[in-house]
């Protein structure tokens, strides 16, 4: 039996065009041996949940620098659950003010990362969450 | 008795389908069992391979084609998009979905990205198994986008009934640059990015290649007999790959591509090649499975020491590998004489 690969969807929900962070993280995860499905910009929560389902990913990584995370993230978590993908771990990166973090964690977001976050930490945390 | 996963897939459950694909990709026992259960349900889909150099617009074309199939005849469409794994880390960034945004929210479409996982051709080892799963799950059209490099054409042409080779202007497109052997496998030639300068040049290059390529070998391949006709009529069973110009970003020429694919399918059926390809493909699958099973059985029945002894003899050049096989298979007397 082949070794199980960690499959990660890296998506950019909403309308902002900041895609550097998403691409940096996608590449870092690839270099850590993961299979990363990159969806590109301007994804609706519905599109992200659908891609997560078809790709049967273990992790959904959202990159949001627009400030709309409190609207987008809960909706995506909700859709994943509605689709029966409640085991999928959700990670968020981008610009998330400290005061929003507790609520995001409460709704089941596994990890949150801001500017300058180390990709090594992200990789470590994803691996940890897969255990 | 089919198990739950298989039954859910046959019933159209998309989550079950996605999970089964993962099981099969990882070659798990559950995945293997499900593949066997699904096999009787296969053989209905039209498999379309899409290959061509990186960046020629394969994904964009697949996006448009799938949209077209949904709009015109509501066919269920599966897309398998293969991208390379890094040979160093085993990881991959699979980016074909970026160009397939238009297909989201469409219940009749299922897109799955696949890393090549060390496979050298343009497909992953389990790509063929994926096509069988989609076929069994009722997807009438299964499109496979290959890694745009290496020996991808040959692999996908063996798997698919119809192979589309995508070219684009501006890729050093003279006759020499267009990969040799492409006419052997292309059933439809697409010149994408027809909005770009240089299309005429690419088209001219392809046409002269087509003209140069003597039709006789193709006739032989399709027909089992040599023919001397230079411009045979369609009903004589010779398929000459049509050249279609497209702009995959806006859909120009897509209906024509779909039409060429349909005509090719018709040609395969009328000429009997659909059935003979199917037979050839399943025949070699059977052969490979048999080989594996026989080898496994052989190793179950032989004593390890006896086998190692034989390896030693081969290493000492006392026996050739071929002779060793003979001895191993019938316990032949030559063993004593060496
Ligand atoms: C570069 C940049 C741009 C570039 C973007 C280029 C591109 N293609 O990405 C350009 C110039 C186009 C741009 C435009 C704008 N920008 Co700007 N931009 C920045 C800037 C300076 C850096 C962003 C960046 O690329 N960082 C480098 C990457 C590697 O870091 P990162 O994205 O943060 O990613 C890291 C982590 O967040 C995390 N991460 C990120 N994604 C993911 C995903 C996952 C799954 C995980 C686990 C982790 C993770 O890991 C990464 C590695 O450490 C930031 C300020 C800042 N310091 O963040 C402003 C900033 C994001 N921009 C901002 C704004 C307002 C804009 C504009 C609206 C400005 C305007 N008025 O026109 C436009 C909007 C454009 C658009 N279409 O959306 C604001 C956003 C404010 C907010 N959210 O409240 C910021 C914060 C600046 C500010 N302080 O005001 N911008
Ligand atoms: N001008 C123009 N650009 C196109 C056309 N089709 C695709 N593109 C662009 O070409 C680039 C590559 O397109 P893809 O569809 O990703 O090509 P691909 O062959 O799938 O690429 P790989 O999978 O990376 O090998 C993208 O920027 C597309 O927008 C076209 O007909 N005209
Ligand atoms: Mg592609």
Closest Cβ opposite residue A32 in set B18, B28, B89: B89
Can you tell me which residue has the tokens 């890094």?
Answer: B86
Question: What is the pLDDT at residue B218?
Answer: 43
pLDDT at position B6: 95
Radius of gyration of chain A (CA): 13
What ipTM was reported for this prediction?
Answer: 0.96
The pLDDT score that the predictor gives to residue B289 is: 87
| Residue from A11, A53, A54, A123 whose CB has the most chain B CBs within 10 Å, to mutate | A54
Taking 70 as the pLDDT cut, the residues of chain B under it are: 1-2, 149-152, 172-180, 213-237, 331-338
Q: Tell me the C-alpha distance between B102 and B71, whole Å.
A: 12
Does residue A24 contact residue B82 with C-beta atoms inside 8 Å? Answer: no
pLDDT the model gives residue B335: 44
What is the distance between the terminal CA atoms of chain B, rounded to a whole angstrom?
54
Give the mean model confidence (pLDDT) for residues A1-15. 86
Q: Does A56 touch chain B (CB under 8 A)?
A: yes
Measure the CA–CA gap between B130 and B110, rounded to whole angstroms.
12
Put simply, the answer to whether A56 touches B22 (Cβ < 8 Å) is yes
Whole-number pLDDT of residue B233 = 44
Boundaries of every domain in chain B:
42-293, 302-335
Return the pLDDT at B236. Answer: 53
Concatenated DSSP letters of B191-209? E--TTSTTHHHHHHHHHHH
Using DSSP's 3-state secondary structure scheme, residue B81 falls into: strand
Return the closest-CA partner of residue A46 out of A14, A69, A16.
A14
How near does any CA of chain A get to the CA of B83, in Å? 10
Contacts of B327 (CB under 8 A, 6+ apart): B310, B319, B334, B335
Confidence at residue B176, expressed as pLDDT on a 0 to 100 scale: 56
Closest-CA residue, ligand 2 atom 3, reads B193
* Dist. CA A94 → ligand 1 center (Å): 7
Please report, in angstroms and rounded to a whole number, the separation of the first and last CA atoms in chain A.
19
What per-residue confidence (pLDDT) applies to B1?
Answer: 52
pTM over 0.80: yes
Q: Which atom of ligand 2 is nearest to the CA of B148?
A: 25
Query: Does A17 contact B at CB distance below 8 Å?
Result: no
Domains, in order of start, for chain A: 7-129 (3.40.50.280)
Give the pLDDT confidence score for residue B226 in this predicted structure.
44
| Block residue for tokens 């349909």 | B262
* pLDDT at position B216: 42
Q: Which residue has the tokens 């890729």?
A: B171
Q: Give the residue from A58, A40, A42, A60 showing the smallest Cα distance to B96.
A: A40
Kindly report, residue by residue over A84-117, the tens digit of the pLDDT. 999 999 999 999 999 999 999 999 999 999 999 9
> Is B250 touching ligand 2 by the criterion CB < 6 Å?
no
Domain at B42-293: CATH code: 3.40.50.300
Tell me the C-alpha distance between B220 and B227, whole Å: 7
Ligand 2 atom with least separation from CA of B61: 15
Q: Which residues pair with B243 in a beta bridge?
A: B189
- For position A7, what pLDDT does the model report? 98
Tokens of A104: 């995001």
| B7 φ/ψ angles, rounded to the nearest 5 degrees | -65, -40
What strands, in cross-sheet order, belong to the sheet with B162-167? B109-115, B77-83, B141-145, B46-52, B162-167, B188-191, B243-245
What pLDDT, on a 0 to 100 scale, did the predictor assign at position B288?
86
Taking residue B144's Cβ as centre, other Cβ atoms within 10 Å add up to 29
Give the pLDDT score at B284: 86
């Amino acid at each position: 039996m082949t070794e199980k690969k960690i499959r990660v969807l890296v998506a950019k929900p909403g309308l902002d065009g900041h895609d550097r962070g998403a691409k940096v993280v996608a590449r870092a995860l690839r270099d850590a041996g993961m299979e990363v499905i990159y969806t590109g910009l301007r994804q609706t929560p519905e599109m992200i949940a659908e891609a997560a389902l078809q790709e049967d990913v273990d992790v959904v990584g959202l990159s949001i620098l627009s400030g709309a995370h409190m609207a987008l993230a809960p909706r995506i978590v909700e859709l994943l659950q509605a689709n029966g993908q409640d085991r999928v771990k959700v990670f968020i990166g981008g610009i998330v003010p400290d005061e929003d973090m507790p609520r995001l964690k409460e709704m089941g977001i596994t990890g949150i990362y801001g500017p300058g976050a180390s990709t090594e930490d992200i990789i470590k945390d994803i691996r940890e969450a897969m255990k | 008795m089919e198990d739950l996963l298989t039954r859910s897939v046959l019933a159209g459950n998309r989550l079950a389908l996605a999970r089964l694909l993962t099981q099969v990709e990882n070659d798990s026992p559950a995945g293997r069992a499900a593949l066997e259960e699904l096999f009787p349900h296969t053989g209905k889909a039209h498999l379309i391979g899409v290959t061509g150099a990186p960046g020629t617009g394969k994904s964009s074309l697949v996006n448009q084609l799938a949209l077209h199939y949904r709009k015109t005849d509501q066919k269920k469409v599966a897309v398998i998009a293969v991208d390379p794994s890094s040979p160093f880390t085993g990881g991959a960034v699979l980016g074909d979905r970026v160009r397939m945004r238009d297909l989201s929210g469409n219940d009749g479409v299922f897109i799955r990205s696949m890393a090549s996982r060390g496979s050298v051709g343009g497909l992953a080892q389990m790509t063929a198994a994926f096509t069988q799963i989609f076929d069994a799950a009722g997807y009438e059209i299964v499109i496979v986008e290959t890694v745009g490099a290496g020996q991808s054409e040959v692999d996908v042409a063996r798997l698919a009934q119809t192979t589309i080779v995508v070219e684009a202007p501006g890729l050093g497109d003279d006759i020499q640059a267009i990969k040799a052997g492409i006419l052997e496998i292309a059933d439809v030639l697409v010149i994408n990015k027809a909005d770009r300068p240089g299309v005429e040049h690419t088209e001219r290059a392809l046409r002269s290649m087509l003209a140069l390529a003597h039709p006789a070998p193709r006739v032989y391949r399709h027909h089992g007999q040599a023919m001397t006709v230079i411009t045979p009529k369609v009903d004589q069973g010779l398929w000459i790959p049509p050249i279609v110009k497209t702009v995959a970003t806006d859909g120009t020429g897509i209906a024509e591509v779909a039409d060429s694919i349909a005509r090719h399918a018709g040609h395969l059926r009328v000429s009997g090649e659909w059935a003979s390809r199917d037979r050839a493909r399943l025949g070699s699958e059977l052969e490979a499975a048999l080989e594996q099973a026989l080898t496994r059985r052989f190793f179950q029945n032989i004593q390890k020491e006896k086998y190692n002894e034989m390896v030693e003899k081969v290493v000492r050049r006392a026996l050739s590998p071929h002779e060793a096989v003979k001895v191993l298979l019938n316990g032949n007397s030559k063993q004593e004489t060496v």
